[in-house]
Amino acid sequence: MNENLSGPTPAGLNTPIPPVQRAARTQTVLLIVASAMFMEQLDGTVLATALPAMARSFDADPLHMNVALTSYLLTLAMFIPASGRIADRFGSKTTFRAAIGLFTLGSILCAQAPSLWALVAARMLQGVGGAMMSPVGRLVMLRVVSKAELVRSMAWLMVPATIGPIVGPPVGGFLVTYLSWHWIFYINVPIGVAGVVLVTMFIDEMKEPSRTKFDLLGLILSGTALACLMFGIEVASRGIGSAITVAVLLGTGGLAAILYWLHARRTPRPMLDFRLLRIPTFRMSVLCGSLSRIAVGAMPFLAPMMFQLGFGYSAAESGLITFVTAIGSLAVRGFAPWFLRRLGFRTVLTWVGALATGLIALTAAFRPSWPLPLIYAALMASGFFQSLQFMAYNTIAYADVPAEDMSSATSFYTTFQQMTLTLGIALSAAALAASIGIMHHAGPMLPDFSVAFLFVAAVSFLAPLLATQLEPGAGAEMSGHRGH
């Protein structure tokens, strides 16, 4: 890997790339990575729309179709920790290209699946590709973008994560209604094939020399811990398993996590390297970002249910309301560099973070008597400030990570992103169920949703409080802020 992040040179060449050509190459790489992430984000949201039609096709119980979602999540949890090590060993270009190829092949096999269990197997193959695609794609970006350009690059790289969930439900509904559920997988094929070709043409091979042997035992222990914990949280939050099942999953996951911790302490290069948390900016981003993502993970679960069950709106009406949160998120892309340059990371993560959390708490006060434009404005502002907050977290995480540890850092960070988003669903579902039980309601009512929103907002409010511990000049090289 090239140590000079401000001007990477293709392997085998000693002549620096001219600035204009380097800028064009960087933009091309960002577009390729963003397209791969868009494919992954789109896939998850269109699938949820198609599950009832797929159940009829397979002559299966619709409730059992949830395994098509959880099998993918479990595979992600097991293989994300290995993504950085594999990229170091085989090169980020080779790994990223293989990830796109596996995801595309898995999509074709999903479309051709003759039964539910064949679909599950194909989804697991997709999961292996997805586990490599997001963290290695981010690693590719970090290896071609200078620190001064990282804020703007990260802003635009996050656009697919916002657009995918927006267009997924209507695209999925259209394909299932007018064609068949098979097409929700076939739409990945042209994007995937183009991605493989473009990676081959425009992305340089970059790898770190292998300093130690591959941590296979660490992969097994960390994969078992993450898969069991995520599946246990998923089962508990959806109420689809017995208390014994949940206890066994969480207990197994907890035991594997302890064993992994003991293993990692005596391993020079463990699969998930907790020693990265010694870096103050990385530690703050992981801890505060995890707390903030609990509320973000809860929003897609709570908001549609509140508008449908509490307000009496149809699914379509609910979707048109929650849609505006994503519009606010998209709007921040052009403003994020300006905010960070004027305010700096610490101010954004404390004051903007507190405002974003406050707007989530405000959702608890929504009532059918509120004017719709006011609800729209609150949700759009919430999406705007949440997105700005996460732009800052996702960028400052890598401010002080040494170049040789960048692959480990991207795997570690992506793993905790997945965990805390799932935890947000579980905690909000638990708060909702607790409120229903305490108030003796037959089902979820508006006050119960208010309790759940306030609970996750209270948890997430710990993030801006902790962010006050950041140094005033943290990440100044990235933000361009000189006010400290």
Calpha distance 259→221 (Å, rounded): 7
Mean pLDDT, residues 158-183: 73
Write out the DSSP string of 378-429.
Answer: HHHHHHHHHHHHHHHHHHHTTSS--GGGHHHHHHHHHHHHHHHHHHHHHHHH
How many Cβ atoms sit within 10 Å of the Cβ of residue 146?
Answer: 16
Alpha-helix runs per DSSP H in 91-208: 92-112, 116-144, 150-157, 159-178, 183-186, 188-202
DSSP 18: P
* 166 vs 189, residue with greater confidence: 189
Q: Which two tokens stand for residue 107?
A: 């999509």
Instruction: Using the Cα atoms of residue 18, residue 20, residue 24 and residue 26 in order, give the sign of their dihedral.
Output: positive
Write out the DSSP string of 429-480.
Answer: HHHHHHHHHHTT-SS--HHHHHHHHHHHHHHHTHHHHHHTTS-TTTTHHHH-
Name the residue among 459, 403, 461, 387 with its Cα closest to residue 428.
459
Mean pLDDT, residues 248-274: 87
Q: How many CA atoms lie within 13 A of 420 on its CB side?
A: 21
Q: Tens of pLDDT along 415-442? A: 888 788 778 877 888 888 888 889 888 8
Say whether pLDDT at 483 is over 70.
Answer: no
Name the residue among 36, 30, 37 with its Cα closest to residue 153.
30
Name the residue among 473, 394, 410 with its Cα closest to residue 162.
394
How many Cβ atoms sit within 10 Å of the Cβ of residue 219?
Answer: 19
Q: Quote the distance between the C-alpha of residue 233 and its chain's center.
A: 17
Residue 18 banded pLDDT, cuts 50, 70, 90:
low
Q: How many CA atoms lie within 13 A of 418 on its CB side?
A: 29
Q: Please report, rounded to a whole number, the percentage of residues in the chain having pLDDT higher than 90.
A: 18
Mean pLDDT, residues 34-53: 76
Residue 247 banded pLDDT, cuts 50, 70, 90:
confident
Structural contact between residues 449 and 302, judged by C-beta atoms closer than 8 angstroms:
yes
Residue 366 banded pLDDT, cuts 50, 70, 90:
very high
C-alpha radius of gyration, the chain, whole number: 22
Listed ranges 43-47, 91-95, 265-269; the one with the highest mean pLDDT? 91-95
Say whether pLDDT at 363 is over 90.
Answer: yes
Say whether pLDDT at 171 is over 80.
Answer: no
- With b for 16 or more beta-carbon neighbours within 10 A and e for fewer, the 43-61 pattern comes to bbbbbbbbbebbbebbebe
Window from 10-19, 53-62, 185-194, 261-270 with minimum mean pLDDT: 10-19
DSSP 28: H
